[in-house]
């Protein structure tokens, strides 16, 4: 299916609903009184979405200031869980993906934000944050994983550009052809770069393999995806997992500085790439988007609907927030998931939770964003399946699978041994607990 276009709700209406339903019953709140709420973010110098949302909200709510608190991107959840426990967390915080939503919600670390959520209509990703009829966070982004490719490196290697029809075997063949062609042209760039995250293998395997179920404890579906990654490493078509870790390689530099011709990554990278081109951290070159390679031909091509994965990114409210700030915080949540915020996010290259033709038009009108038909198709047409199905077992399962990923990609364990061990651990440490 294509990304759905939900009902549009004005921020003014959302604010009216929020202010009517929030605030401590014994503490009258003046809606016009100056108030400051704090918001968690990460990599603030290279991730402009948080300031964009804060500024956009301020423009229509002049009495509310949103103050940003920076966290380490790689250790965000660890630091946030610690701050929530210590009572030092900000008023509003981001749920980067669905992996830890159950942990936050069941641990009483999210305020009921049904007032803000009810103003958003039929926003598809909203369902992920509902428990027993109540809403505990709202989505403001809905990224999907696509293939970024450097058109100039393809031409240099004399390899045909992606057409949107690739299966994984065709992707692997192209990565090897690119590596050989670039070497012949005197370039040290590789055909592909696979970042060190488990998502880069497991997210696609779970989303695309018929019958795959993260919570079943049966991980045989991962095998062909890991075999392909290991083969590309061995062929030199992408840097090895060990090299990427030891040398602290970043996907932004590998693609942005033209060290790799292809990169599978989430659509959030569009904003980062545009920002880094302006700052000089990334080169200026001709690039494009294509659908992620597919399990088989049944979902490949522009006449089909490619399958990919991606969790929504949401925001929730710290339950220890001052009662005098609850109304403003709920109003801010209603704003970040609105079409107005969606247009603002699209204006910096971010894929918002709201989907509409004006939002897509806004993003593709940006300087530096490719305007070819395949890029627009890859961005707007796909079936997005969750990387982290919401369950009390999800975090535990993903921790087990992260160990599997490290063991396999570093060649410290054979693939069959690592899968068997992960299945045993999943049963004993997660499913039977």
Distance (Å, whole) CA 433 – CA 35: 44
Does residue 117 sit within a domain?
Answer: yes
| Residue pLDDT, tens place only, 289-326 | 999 999 999 999 999 999 999 999 999 999 999 999 99
Lowest-confidence segment of 30-39, 256-265, 364-373 by average pLDDT: 30-39
Tell me: do 316 and 295 sit in the same domain: no
Distance (Å, whole) CA 243 – CA 245: 5
Tell me: do 149 and 285 sit in the same domain: yes
Distance (Å, whole) CA 218 – CA 419: 9
In CATH, what number is assigned to the domain containing residue 265? 3.40.190.10
Does residue 132 sit within a domain?
Answer: yes
Tell me: do 88 and 205 sit in the same domain: no
Give me the domain span that covers residue 265. 145-308+378-385
Tell me: do 181 and 298 sit in the same domain: yes
Q: Which of 51 and 12 is assigned the larger pLDDT?
A: 51
Q: Could you give the angle at the alpha carbon of 146 between the alpha carbons of 141 and 148, nearest 5°?
A: 115
Q: What is the pLDDT of the chain when averaged over all its residues?
A: 91
Q: Considering the entire predicted model, what is its pTM?
A: 0.86
17 has a pLDDT exceeding 50:
no
Lowest-confidence segment of 190-194, 293-297, 346-350, 405-409 by average pLDDT: 346-350
- Report residue 29's pLDDT band, with 50, 70 and 90 as the boundaries: low
Distance (Å, whole) CA 386 – CA 159: 33
| Residue pLDDT, tens place only, 359-383 | 888 999 999 999 999 999 999 899 9
């Amino acid at each position: 299916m294509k990304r759905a276009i939900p009902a549009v709700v004005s921020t003014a209406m959302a604010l009216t609903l929020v202010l009517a339903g929030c605030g401590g019953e014994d503490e009258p709140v003046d809606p016009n009184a100056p108030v400051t709420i704090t918001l968690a973010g990460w990599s603030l110098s290279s991730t402009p979405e948080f300031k964009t949302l804060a500024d956009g909200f301020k423009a229509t709510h002049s009495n509310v200031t949103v103050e940003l608190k920076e966290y380490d991107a790689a250790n965000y959840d660890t630091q946030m869980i610690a701050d929530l426990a210590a009572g030092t967390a900000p008023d509003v915080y981001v749920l980067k993906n669905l992996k830890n939503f159950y942990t936050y919600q069941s641990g009483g670390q999210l305020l009921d934000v049904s007032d803000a959520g009810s103003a958003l209509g039929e926003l598809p990703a909203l369902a992920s944050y509902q428990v027993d009829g109540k809403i505990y966070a709202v989505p403001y982004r809905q990224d999907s994983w696509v293939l970024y490719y450097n058109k100039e490196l393809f031409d240099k290697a004399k390899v045909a550009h992606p057409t949107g029809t690739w299966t994984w075997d065709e992707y692997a063949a192209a990565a090897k052809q690119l590596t050989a062609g670039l070497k012949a042209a005197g370039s040290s760039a590789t055909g592909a770069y696979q970042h060190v995250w488990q998502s880069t293998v497991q997210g696609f395997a779970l989303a695309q393999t018929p019958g795959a179920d993260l919570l079943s404890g049966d991980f045989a579906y991962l095998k062909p995806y890991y075999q392909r990654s290991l083969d590309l490493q061995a062929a030199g078509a992408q840097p090895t997992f060990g090299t990427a870790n030891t040398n602290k390689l970043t996907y932004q530099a590998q693609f942005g500085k033209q060290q790799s011709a292809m990169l599978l990554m989430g659509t959030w990278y569009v904003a980062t790439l545009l920002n880094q081109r302006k700052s000089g951290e990334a080169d200026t070159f001709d690039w494009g988007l294509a659908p992620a390679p597919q399990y088989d031909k049944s979902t490949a091509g522009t006449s089909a609907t490619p399958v990919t994965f991606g969790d929504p990114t949401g925001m929730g409210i710290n339950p220890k927030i001052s009662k005098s700030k609850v109304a403003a915080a709920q109003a801010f949540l209603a704003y970040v998931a609105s079409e107005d915020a969606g247009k603002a996010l699209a204006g910096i290259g971010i894929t918002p939770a709201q989907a509409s033709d004006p939002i897509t038009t806004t993003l593709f009108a940006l300087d530096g964003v490719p305007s070819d038909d395949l890029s627009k198709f890859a961005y707007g047409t796909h079936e997005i399946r969750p990387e982290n199905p919401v369950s009390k077992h999800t975090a535990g399962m993903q921790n087990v699978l992260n160990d599997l990923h490290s063991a396999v990609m570093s060649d410290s364990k054979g693939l069959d041994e690592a899968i068997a061990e992960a299945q045993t651990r999943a049963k004993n440490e997660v499913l039977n607990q």
